[in-house]
Structure 1
Amino acid sequence: MTDSAVASSKPKGTLSWALWDWASQSFPTVVTSFIFGRYITDTAFAPAGMSEADAEQYTGYWLGISGIISGLLIALIAPIVGRRADTSGRKKMWLMINTWLFAGTIGLMFFVQPSNDFFFFGLTLLAVGGIFFEFATVNYNSMLNEVARPKDRGRVSQFGWGLGYMGGIVLLVMALWIIQFGGAELLGIPDTAALSVRVVMIISMFWVLVFSIPLMLNVPEAKPIAGTEKESIFAAYGNLFRALATMGRENPNLLKFLIASAVYRDGLNGVFAYGAVLGGLAFGLGLTEIIIFGIAANIVAGFGAFVGAFFEDRIGSRTVVFVSLIGVMLGGLGVFVFAGAGTIAFFGFGLFLCTFVGPAQAASRTMMSRLSSDDKQGEAFGLYATTGRAVSFLAPAAWTVFVAAFSPLWGILGLMLILVIGFLLLITVKPVLAPKE
């Protein structure tokens, strides 16, 4: 371990690092999944005169286009973001800069009023915020080896992921109170122009800014790699391609894991991305019920991650991922098979499924850290983000094909198919266990 790793592996530094998961959860939970992502697809954002069906198609189409564009930019740039953070020794600096930038985009979402005049402004903020969030995550994940001893990385990774879900719960409860249960009126927020939703964006911005301060103050900056501090962007791309070629020869297990994890992580992301859509289209849930489901989903996912913290370093990250993927697939199958039971099936099997999402994601982060050398963590997690984005069309495509061919309920089977493929690819990856010392 590096000197900075030894220093920041103290409990104060480790907790400060994990609190960034808590802080940043406002983007995937409030912005992407449950609040702003649904708000921007409201028919109020479509051009005047469109039928409701055409308006839904219009907003959904442009949301997909913006996601593709931002995904391509992330795939192209993320490895260099990570590599340059490694070589320059500025992981924390770039983490904080990107954190402030995506927090700023969340704050600007307050100005997105429910009108077609603000539609593309909102989409741009969503896409740009997603890019900055991904870049921040690359640097954050690459710091895992600096805040945890090798034998504790699984526990620390799971703990951080669990904290993230807990933060999502608090945010969603506040949002539900403000939007649905009288909080807006109590706070003096007028019931016009979706102000209650837009105020939640301001709260989410300050949430990110405040709870990211401990990491900035208590986690030491990494040291640069000697002789590479002034590597140009063009040189970085050239060295990256050479590193990939070397990886294929010298560390094929890491390359296999990058491919396998990219596939099953896309399936896991699809579960959360389309869970609310499935609840609305196939089970007739309203906004309040969907937010309640989101709160419950974060509770059980956080619980699963905290449980995973006790086991991962003992039984290995790959085993945790295997067990978790099986749990997710069984839950998804249960939602489909027992759909006739209605909301009970969606909540019951859906929450069972969500219990395993956190452990799978956190164990994947740990496994990536252990398969990569300590001096190339940023580059490795940049590739981790890139491979994930490179196949990010899989879950949406599978969802769309199954829904178009059958019905919205069948979309869940499309997502499960992606998970099965990722599961089979993971079998080819050799396990890596935590060192005893």
Structure 2
Amino acid sequence: MSIGTVRVEAAGEAAGRRREQHGWYFYDWACSVYSTSVLTVFLGPYLTSVARHAADADGFVHPLGVPLRAGSFFAYCVSASVVVAILVMPAAGAAADRTGRRKPLLAASAYTGASATTGLFFLDGDRYLLGGLLLIVANASVAVSMVLYNSFLPQIAPPEERDTVSSRGWAFGYAAGSLMLVVNLVLFSAHGSFGLSESAAVRICLASAGLWWGAFTLVPLKRLRDRRTAPSPAAPASAPPPASAGHGWRQLAATVRDMRGKPLTLAFLLAYLIYNDGIQTVISQASVYGSEELGLGQSTLIVAVLMVQVLAVAGALGMGRLARVHGAKRTVLGSLIAWTLTLAAGYFLPARAPVYFFALAAGIGLVLGGSQALSRSLFSHLVPPGKEAEYFSAYEMSDRGMSWLGPLLFGITYQLTGSYRSAIVSLVVFFVIGFVLLARVPVRRAIADAGNPVPKII
């Protein structure tokens, strides 16, 4: 084979890889509007108001006969959605690795979530149980879809490109969230001009996120390609593809046992489980804190979250560049210090003072995208070849699947104290413990133990 032929094939392979990477970015573009518009901005305050409308004289609702403060209902639903995701994610990850058919599973989870999100249009009056059910389905679906989405990363990006590709994916997501929030802000602020009530405007904003999610999911489904994976020695080629949740749990147990032979990968996951729980809880509960404790209006919250999205794009790309110079681990550790200081400052914010809330939002935005993107790319180096979806299923259990502790702590703290300030400051513990655990992980040795080439800077 001539040198020219080799170069042409290499160029064609690189072009194909770039096409897949561009398609991969678009799933972040598609589903991030759910996290931004629905989970972070509108649904928390709106579902809380619906629950308060249905509450008794003491401010309690009674789903399944259990008395809950209406102000805690949203946080508890977020926790419940994570439990549902835990039951489904192992089966999805195991099926993806055994069959190599990631795209159909990605499509099923994405469109289930998009449909549930669109259904939030019908959340009004005192239908808090409907809102809770749709939230649980949508939030569980996005978690399952992210298992499959993340598992493509080691296949479409060589080790030296993963920090950049992962950061660009997060940047795409935050850019989409920003664009949708601008549209939401116009609709909500001028809802009277459109002949809409405030409730109708919120419900349209919620449903539009589901339509956006479904429409742009078509791009990655077209550009990404499934790769058949060779069966592992423990599973002969004649074995049928697993489909049951029970098999998924057995596969997850096998993955954890396998990780016991790679204790440094497991140590990273434990650290990530802790600090990401804090990140996810801040994302989901910030608007509730702003509206209920600080007395800020919906328009103020939209502008604040829009600021987070815009700065998160710059933060994700900027921290990606920092990682290329200082390494991903050091950059993530620095972001955890920033998270701790920012969250502690949030406890002292005065009520009805948007300027201080905007300053807090700016601090969150600058570290949000980078800490998540670099954690994902860092973990991709710790995955043994051929076990991408299996290990990313465990990662997603840490990313979203185990992120029920934070909302539960937030909800219980408010349940006991009646103070959202106490609830928000309780989350600092996740960042402190996560920092200590991550600092103890020797990342270069962990990559080598996983059987992967060690980048010069990591």
**Secondary structure in 1 aligned to 2:227?**
coil
Sort the Cα spacing of 1:172 and 1:310 in 2 relative to 1 into closer, same or farther, 3 A.
same
Deviation, structure 1 residue 135: 0.7
Residue correspondences, number: 426
Q: 1:318 aligns with which of 298, 305, 329?
A: 329
Deviation, structure 1 residue 58: 4.5
Q: 1:219 aligns with which of 194, 208, 224?
A: 224
Counterpart in the other structure of 2:371: 360
Counterpart in the other structure of 2:96: 85
Counterpart in the other structure of 2:380: 369
Deviation, structure 1 residue 7: 6.6
Counterpart in the other structure of 2:30: 23
Whether 1:42 and 2:49 are equivalent positions in the alignment is yes
CA distance in 1, matches of 2:405, 2:51: 27
More displaced, 427-436 or 10-19?
427-436
Q: Aligned letter for 1:359? A: G
Sort the Cα spacing of 1:335 and 1:47 in 2 relative to 1 into closer, same or farther, 3 A.
closer
CA distance in 2, matches of 1:321, 1:362: 9
Whether 1:412 and 2:424 are equivalent positions in the alignment is yes
Whether 1:424 and 2:436 are equivalent positions in the alignment is yes
Counterpart in the other structure of 2:205: 200
1:75-114 correspondence runs (5 A): 75-112=86-123, 114=124
What stretches of structure 1 of length at least 5 have no aligned partner? none
What stretches of structure 2 of length at least 5 have no aligned partner? 1-9, 63-67, 448-453
Q: Aligned letter for 2:254? A: R
Sort the Cα spacing of 1:278 and 1:198 in 2 relative to 1 into closer, same or farther, 3 A.
closer
Q: Aligned letter for 1:161? A: W
Q: 1:289 aligns with which of 273, 295, 300?
A: 300
Deviation, structure 1 residue 8: 7.6
Whether 1:255 and 2:266 are equivalent positions in the alignment is yes
Whether 1:169 and 2:174 are equivalent positions in the alignment is no
Q: Aligned letter for 1:401? A: T
Deviation, structure 1 residue 298: 1.1
Cα deviations across residues 171-218 of structure 1 (Å, max 9, x unaligned)? 111111111224x634xxx43482222222332222112222221111
Sort the Cα spacing of 1:10 and 1:363 in 2 relative to 1 into closer, same or farther, 3 A.
same
CA distance in 1, matches of 2:305, 2:118: 22
TM-score (ref. length: structure 1): 0.88
Q: Aligned letter for 1:17? A: W
CA distance in 1, matches of 2:351, 2:135: 36
Counterpart in the other structure of 1:435: 455
Mapped contact 1:85–1:91 kept (Cα < 8 A) = yes
CA distance in 1, matches of 2:249, 2:288: 39
More displaced, 338-347 or 256-265?
338-347
Whether 1:307 and 2:318 are equivalent positions in the alignment is yes
Q: 1:390 aligns with which of 402, 419, 427?
A: 402
CA distance in 2, matches of 1:134, 1:391: 10
Counterpart in the other structure of 2:149: 140
Q: Aligned letter for 2:430? A: I
Counterpart in the other structure of 1:185: 193
Deviation, structure 1 residue 73: 2.1
Cα deviations across residues 227-274 of structure 1 (Å, max 9, x unaligned)? 4562433444334323322311x2101111111101100111122222
CA distance in 2, matches of 1:124, 1:111: 12
Deviation, structure 1 residue 222: 2.0
Whether 1:131 and 2:140 are equivalent positions in the alignment is yes
More displaced, 85-94 or 220-229?
220-229
Deviation, structure 1 residue 338: 6.3
Counterpart in the other structure of 1:246: 258
CA distance in 1, matches of 2:249, 2:411: 34
1:322-333 correspondence runs (5 A): 322-333=333-344
Whether 1:230 and 2:240 are equivalent positions in the alignment is yes
CA distance in 2, matches of 1:85, 1:26: 25
**Secondary structure in 2 aligned to 1:79?**
helix
Mapped contact 1:8–1:14 kept (Cα < 8 A) = no
CA distance in 1, matches of 2:30, 2:188: 21
CA distance in 2, matches of 1:364, 1:357: 11
More displaced, 323-332 or 160-169?
323-332
Query: What's the Cα RMSD here?
Result: 2.9
Sort the Cα spacing of 1:344 and 1:399 in 2 relative to 1 into closer, same or farther, 3 A.
farther
**Secondary structure in 1 aligned to 2:394?**
helix
Deviation, structure 1 residue 141: 0.7
CA distance in 1, matches of 2:257, 2:212: 41
Deviation, structure 1 residue 339: 4.6
Whether 1:209 and 2:214 are equivalent positions in the alignment is yes
Sort the Cα spacing of 1:341 and 1:215 in 2 relative to 1 into closer, same or farther, 3 A.
closer
Deviation, structure 1 residue 391: 5.4
Mapped contact 1:270–1:396 kept (Cα < 8 A) = no
Deviation, structure 1 residue 412: 3.4
Sort the Cα spacing of 1:412 and 1:39 in 2 relative to 1 into closer, same or farther, 3 A.
closer
Q: Aligned letter for 1:185? A: S
Whether 1:12 and 2:22 are equivalent positions in the alignment is no
Q: Percent of aligned positions with the same letter in both sequences?
A: 24
CA distance in 2, matches of 1:69, 1:401: 17
Sort the Cα spacing of 1:35 and 1:305 in 2 relative to 1 into closer, same or farther, 3 A.
same
Sort the Cα spacing of 1:83 and 1:316 in 2 relative to 1 into closer, same or farther, 3 A.
farther
Q: Aligned letter for 1:31? A: V
Cα deviations across residues 390-413 of structure 1 (Å, max 9, x unaligned)? 352145415743895594334332
Mapped contact 1:9–1:148 kept (Cα < 8 A) = no
CA distance in 2, matches of 1:12, 1:354: 29
